[in-house]
Amino acid sequence: MSADPLPLPADGQPVAADPRPAMAAQERRSRRALRRIDHWVLPAFTVIAITYLLLPIAVMIVYSFNDPIGKFNYQWNEFSLEAWQHPLDRPGLPDALLNSIIVAVVATLASTVLGTLIALALTRYSFRGRSATNLFVFVPMAAPEVVLGASLLTLFVGSASLEPFKSIIPSGLLFPLGLNTIVIAHIMFCISFVVVTVRARIQGFDNNLEQAAADLYANEWQTFWRVTFPLIFPGILAGGLLAFSLSIDDFIVTDFSSGQTSTFPIWIWTTIRNSLPPQVNVIGTIIFGVAVGLVLLSTLIGRWRAQRALRPS
């Protein structure tokens, strides 16, 4: 049986077939392909990326339970809890770890307070030099650490060279290399990260809430502590955690500004030339666990605050 001929219009030319069904079928095939990618390729890539990032940490944790052969903890010998039972049983390690903790805590507190104030000023107010301040905030983040360390060393050594004139120069202007210079250097580069983190939180802040508090006769201090601070606290906490992580593991800037003072990263660098004890892996595992715990705690606090805000009063 022959197919029906195409209908002919008045001019005698055949009518072309409608391409829309074919286009719709092609679009459906494309959507199915994209769904397959979303379902398999992206999760697989995410798992591979996370595994790549966590693999060195997993090796560090595993080798913290190793009883090494010789001085270097490079090859697995046998399971042992000796390093965990005596995590500070190495010369100079307790003092270096204590210095790192002191520097990290002081730098975190100082940079978080100063960075939050700077972020509030840059977001809320217009003043002369605001654009330049925005630029200078990003300089420590963009500049290589070698440049920052060398410039800080020049500053501190230049200040120390004024020691013969300390009778006429306030003692606060003299910076002999040591724990104080490390703290100053860490506050300097941590402030930028806090400013960027807190500022991102403030930019999404609804100013109408502060105006509502003012309408209810709250002064500026009460408005800040009861309205502004609770809402930007997640950004402040994130900036503080970031500053702590950057400070406790910094090596290059610390090495330039430490003098004879040793911190945990510097101690590892000086020790690794002759040995690599498993205590390094133990302390690294503890620091990693504390960092993960702080992140989980901040996440739980954020969820608790969000659920509390949704509860009817």
Give a yes or no: residue 211 inside a domain: yes
Contact yes or no for 82/279 (Cβ under 8 A):
no
- Domains: count for the chain: 1
Residue 79 backbone dihedrals phi, psi, to 5 degrees: -70, 135
Give a yes or no: residue 38 inside a domain: no
Question: What distance lies between CA 104 and its chain's CA centroid?
Answer: 14
Convert the pLDDT of each residue in 94-128 to its tens digit. 999 999 999 999 999 999 999 999 998 888 888 88
Give a yes or no: residue 40 inside a domain: no
Q: CA–CA separation, 307 vs 281, rounded Å? A: 39
Q: What is the DSSP string of 53-93?
A: HHHHHHHHHHHTTB--SSSBTTS---B--HHHHSTT-STTH
* CA distance readout (Å), 224 to 108, 213, 220: 22, 10, 6
**Does residue 276 sit in helix, strand or coil?**
strand
Give a yes or no: residue 124 inside a domain: yes
Convert the pLDDT of each residue in 179-227 to its tens digit. 989 999 999 999 999 999 998 888 877 777 777 877 777 777 888 888 8
Give a yes or no: residue 117 inside a domain: yes
| Weakest mean pLDDT among 108-122, 129-143, 172-186, 280-294 | 172-186
Structure-block tokens of residue 237: 């906490």
Give a yes or no: residue 250 inside a domain: yes
121: domain CATH number is: 1.10.3720.10
What value, to the nearest 5°, has the Cα angle with vertex 294 and ends 290 and 298?
170
Give a yes or no: residue 294 inside a domain: no
Predicted confidence band of residue 2 (pLDDT cuts 50, 70, 90): low
Per-residue pLDDT at 191: 93
Give a yes or no: residue 160 inside a domain: yes
Contact yes or no for 302/234 (Cβ under 8 A):
yes
Show the domain range for 209: 91-276
Q: CA–CA separation, 181 vs 163, rounded Å? A: 16
Q: CA–CA separation, 89 vs 243, rounded Å? A: 29
Torsion sign, CA atoms 239, 240, 245, 247: positive
Convert the pLDDT of each residue in 32-57 to its tens digit. 777 777 777 778 888 899 999 999 99
